[in-house]
Amino acid sequence: MQEATYLILTALAAGSQHGYGIIADVTDISDGRVRLRAGTLYTALDRLKTDRLIAVDREEIADGRLRRYYRLTPDGQQRLAKEAARLHANALAAMRRLQPGLA
């Protein structure tokens, strides 16, 4: 799973969000390291919708413009949990070797 995809799913794990909210949340989650742009975000959202990992939650009109909220599907939650466990196990293995007494 690409990092941008992982971060988008993570942003949606706490609840539904609209596009701009996802961009802001991903910047926050990654400590400013990953700054998603609209083209990247909507290409990823379209793929995630096709793979049924996310779905449209609701639509709103804010300041005369369409705002669409996305949420994780049960498949998306499962996929994210699996990926997070995998990354956690890898990180733990690395930490154990770097600092045997701490991890």
Partner 1 sequence: MNDPNPLERRYRRLLAFYPRGFRRENTEEILAVLLSCAEDGQRRPGLAASADLIRGAVRMRLRMAGQPPRVVRLAIRLMYAGVVAQLAALAVYIVTLGRVRSAVSRRYPGLAAAQHALNVNVTIHYIAVPVGLAAWLFLLRALVRGNHRARFGLAVYFAATCLSVLIAIGQESAQLAPADLIAGGAQWLITLAVTVLLFTAASSRYYRPEPRPVIPWRGTFGTM
Contact residues toward partner 1 (CB under 8 A) are 19-20, 23, 37-43, 46-47, 49-51, 62, 65-68
Closer to partner 1 by Cβ: residue 59 or 89: 59
For partner 1, the closer CB: 51 or 91:
51
- The least distance separating partner 1 from the CB of residue 66, rounded to whole angstroms, comes to 4
CA distance from start to end of the chain:
26
Q: Which is nearer to partner 1, 28 or 46 (CB)?
A: 46
Taking CA atoms, 2 is separated from 5, 11, 20, 60, 83, in Å, by: 5, 14, 20, 29, 10
Nearest distance from residue 99's CB to partner 1, in Å?
38
- Burial class of residue 64 in the structure, from the number of CB atoms within 10 Å of its CB (0-12 exposed, 13-18 middle, 19+ buried): exposed
